[in-house]
Amino acid sequence: MADLNLIKLLPEKFQSDPILLEYFLALGEDDSTILSANKLYNVKNWLDLTTALGNLINPDTVDVSFLRHLAVLINVDLSPEDSTTESVLRSEVTEAVDWYKLKGTYSSLDVISLIVGINFNIWDLYTNDYSTFHQAAWFSGLSENDNPADYPYASGYYKSPHFGVEIELNKVYSPDSSIPVVYDHLWHYSYWVNLKKWIEKTRPVHTVPEYSLLMSPVMDNDGSVNSVAGSIESKTLTTFITGGKTFDQNAAADSDYDGDIADWTFDEDLDSDGDSQTTFDEASQNTLLLIDTYKLGTGSKGIDLDSSDWTGDLEDSSPVEGSIAQSDITDYGDKTEIEINITAATELDGVSELGIYTDGGTSDEELVVVSLFPDIYKGTTEELKILVTINKV
C-alpha cells in the first residue's frame, strides 16, 4: 500500500491545528514533515500491524514485534533480544508447552538443549568427599548406597545432589563483533548466560548444576590428519608406539660372547627414571610412557594442519601449560585415550592449538600429538576436559 497523506484530506484550517500536530508528534512524527505534500502520516504501519494480529497464535508466523507479548500470555520469559537470534526466540515459545510438561526433571534439560541450540551431556556426579566430583551415567538405585554396576570408582562414593552439564564443543560459531570475537570459534563464555538462565528455571529441586566443556580430538597413530565435528584437526607426529607385545630382546649382537645370537634384557627402564616399565611379554608403550606435558596456544588460526602454513609446533610463545600423569593415559588395545583437565580457575582467551609432548620442559622435549581448532574462550566458572583419542591402525 502506498503512503497516503490523510492530513491533506482535512479542511485547510485544521491542517495546522496545534492539537492535531501535538497528537502526531506524540505518535513519533517529525513536525518538519507532517505538512509536507510528499509525506503522509503513515497509516500503512497501522494497517500492517493490524493485519499481523491474525498471526498472533502462531509463534512461527507472528511478527517479531509481537513475539514477546505472545510469550507473556503463556508465562514464558524470553531471552534478551540483544543476545538472542529471532529463530531462538521463536523456538523458546514453540517449545514452551513441552518444556512445562517436563519441567523439574532431567528430561526437561533436553528441551533446553533444543531451545538454545547447544548440544550438551547431563551427568550424575559422584563423590566421596563432597569436594571432587566424578561423572557417571544417570542411575536410580533401590537404596542409599546402591551404585550402578559399571560405576568406575571405589566403594565409599555416593551420588551427590550435583549434576553435570557438559557442553560438547562440536559447533563452529562465526565471528561476532558484539562479543567481540574476530575468528571462528567453538565457544565463548558469554554463551553461558542464556543457557544457565534456562537451566535454573527447570532444574530439579534440591540439585546443583556444575558446568563444563568437552573437546574430543580424534586421530590415527599413522600420522595422517583427521578432522571431526567442530573443524577440529589432529594428527600424531612420530612413530607413535601405543602398544603391542614384546619379548624385550636386544640387538642381534652377542654382546656377552656366550654363543647366543641375542641377549634378553627384562625390566627395561624406558624413561631413565629408575623404575622399570617393560618386563617379559608386557605391552611396549614407549611413546605413551614418555608423555608428560600439554600446551594450549593461541596461534595457527585458520591454518590447515596438512598445509605448508603450519610450522610444526605451537606458534604461541607463552602457551597455557600443564602436566599429564600416566593415570591420565588409558590404553584400550585398539585405541589410546589421553585426558586433559583444565580447571575452572584457568581462563582461556582464544586458544586454538593443542600440543602433547614427551620429556616436557627438557632439551629432549618433543611434540608427538597436535590438534588445531577454532578459538575457545573459557571463563572462570567452568572446567574444560580435552579427551584425545588415538586409534591404532
Rounded Cα distance, 248 and 264, in Å: 6
**146 backbone φψ class: left, alpha, beta (φ>0; ψ -120 to 50):** beta
Query: Is the same domain home to 123 and 174?
Result: yes
Same domain, 127 and 44: no
- What count of residues does the chain have? 393
Question: Which of these, 327, 379, 331, 390, lies nearest to 356 by C-alpha position?
Answer: 390
- Give pTM, 2 decimals: 0.69
pLDDT value for 32: 57
Residue 224 and residue 332 share a domain:
yes
Clarify whether residues 206 and 222 are in a common domain: no
Q: Quote the domain boundaries for residue 171.
A: 95-215
Look at residue 313 and tell me if it is in a domain.
yes
Q: Do the beta carbons of residue 147 and residue 195 sit within 8 Å? A: no
- One domain for residues 232 and 124: no
- How many domains does the chain divide into? 3
33 inside domain: yes
The owner of cell 570475537 is 181
Look at residues 115, 137, 108, 114 and name the one whose alpha carbon lies nearest to residue 124: 137
Residue 74 forms part of a structural domain: no
pLDDT at residue 269 greater than cutoff 50: yes
- The pLDDT tens digits of the residues spanning 50-67 come to 676 677 778 888 888 888
- In this structure, are 197 and 306 located in the same domain? no
Beta strands in the chain (DSSP E): 120-127, 134-136, 158-168, 185-188, 208-215, 218-220, 226-228, 232-236, 245-246, 282-283, 291-297, 320-323, 329-331, 335-342, 348-358, 366-378, 383-391
The reply to whether 133 and 148 lie within a common domain is: yes
Q: Band of the pLDDT at 84, cuts 50, 70, 90?
A: confident
**198 plus 236 within the same structural domain:** no
Residue with the bigger pLDDT between 239 and 196: it is: 196
User: Which cell goes with 259?
Assistant: 654363543
Domain assignment present for residue 352? The answer is yes
Residues 6+ apart with CB under 8 A from 173: 181, 184, 185, 186, 187, 188, 374
**Same-domain status, 289 and 385:** yes
Mean pLDDT within 91-100: 84
